[in-house]
């Protein structure tokens, strides 16, 4: 095994240990000593590959974006589906990802929160300096839009094949759909809570969400009556 292969193996072992601990204990409760112990690698070598826990978490976040990108890419590569069918598959795949890859998804949402501060020079100072110094954070700045780029392609495909309205602007439309998916996931807990006053079945809500999304993307009679509003939204 060459030097590069050994380095990649050690990084992989450290990441796997970190992911396991972050999932079980959360970021704040996890210590680097525990990560190195789980990876069966010395603490010093762990710090050689990842400067600190913040750097390690950014590496895990990058892995999370890569995993989510694979979900999007598999759908884009599927054969014989219209753009609308691909978006439906994307919604279901996205929700499955948020449920089965909880730690990755939380890391992605955390990064989105960091970016809200990063893009505003007046707020950037609120970000932990260790995060800003992380090489993995710098890499995330370059790749975090890759997921959305695939989503935009799916919308463009739907417009081209006629399964979606021709007046949609692909980029704005996809980011609107992604916002809706994030909102759906964020509200899934409150909606599922038994003592809530508003009664709604989670599964029916999911089906209703998809039907409403279809109406928005295809353009129903009701939607066409509000054409001016839609034009400003999409």
| Cβ-contact 151, 177 below 8 angstroms | yes
pLDDT value at position 7?
Answer: 85
Cα–Cα distances in Å, from 53 out to 46, 73, 99? 10, 30, 25
* Residue closest to 59 by CA, chosen among 32, 34, 38, 99: 32
Which tokens is 81 given? 């589906």
pLDDT value at position 64?
Answer: 97
Give dist(CA 198, CA 192) in Å, integer: 10
Give dist(CA 143, CA 62) in Å, integer: 8
| Cβ-contact 34, 21 below 8 angstroms | yes
Helix-helix angle 102-118:53-76, to 10 degrees: 110
Give dist(CA 186, CA 25) in Å, integer: 21
Q: Is 164 left (phi over 0), alpha (psi -120 to 50) or beta?
A: beta
Tell me the DSSP string of the chain.
Answer: --HHHHHHHHHHHHHHHHHHHHHHH-TTT--HHHHHHHHT--HHHHHHHSSSHHHHHHHHHHHHHHHHHHHHHHHHT-SS--HHHHHHHHHHHHHHHHHHSHHHHHHHHHHHHHHHHHT-TTTGGGS-HHHHT-HHHHHHHHHTTHHHHHHHHHHHHHHHHTSS-TT--HHHHHHHHHHHHHHHHHHHHHHH-TT-SS---HHHHHHHHHHHHHHHHHT-HHHHHTHHHHHHH-
pLDDT value at position 201?
Answer: 77
Q: Please, what are the domains in the chain?
A: 1-50 (1.10.10.60), 54-233 (1.10.357.10)
pLDDT value at position 196?
Answer: 66
- Tens place of pLDDT per residue across the chain (234 aa): 677 788 889 999 999 999 999 999 999 999 999 999 999 999 999 999 999 999 999 999 999 999 999 999 999 999 999 999 999 999 999 999 999 999 999 999 999 999 999 999 999 999 999 999 999 999 999 999 999 999 999 999 999 999 999 999 999 999 999 999 999 999 988 887 776 676 777 778 889 999 999 999 998 644 444 344 444 444
pLDDT value at position 233?
Answer: 45
Give dist(CA 188, CA 99) in Å, integer: 11
């Amino acid at each position: 095994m060459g030097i590069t292969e050994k380095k990649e193996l050690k990084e992989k072992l450290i990441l796997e240990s970190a992911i396991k601990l972050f999932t079980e204990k959360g970021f704040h409760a996890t210590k680097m000593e525990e990560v190195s112990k789980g990876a069966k690698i010395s603490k010093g070598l762990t710090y050689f590959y990842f400067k600190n826990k913040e750097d390690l978490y950014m590496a895990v976040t990058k892995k999370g974006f890569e995993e989510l990108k694979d979900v999007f890419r598999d759908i884009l590569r599927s054969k014989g589906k219209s753009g609308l069918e691909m978006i439906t598959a994307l919604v279901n795949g996205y929700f499955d990802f948020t449920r089965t890859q909880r730690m990755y998804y939380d890391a992605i949402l955390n990064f989105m929160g960091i970016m809200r501060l990063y893009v505003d020079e007046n707020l950037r100072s609120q970000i932990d300096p260790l995060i800003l110094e992380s090489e993995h954070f710098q890499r995330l700045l370059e790749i975090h839009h890759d997921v959305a780029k695939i989503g935009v392609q799916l919308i463009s495909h739907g417009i081209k094949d006629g399964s979606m309205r021709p007046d949609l602007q692909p980029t704005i439309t996809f980011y609107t759909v992604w916002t809706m998916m994030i909102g759906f996931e964020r509200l899934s807990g409150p909606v599922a809570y038994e003592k809530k006053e508003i009664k709604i079945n989670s599964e029916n809500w999911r089906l209703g969400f998809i039907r409403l999304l279809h109406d928005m993307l295809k353009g129903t009679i009701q939607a066409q009556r509000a054409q001016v509003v839609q034009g400003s939204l999409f």
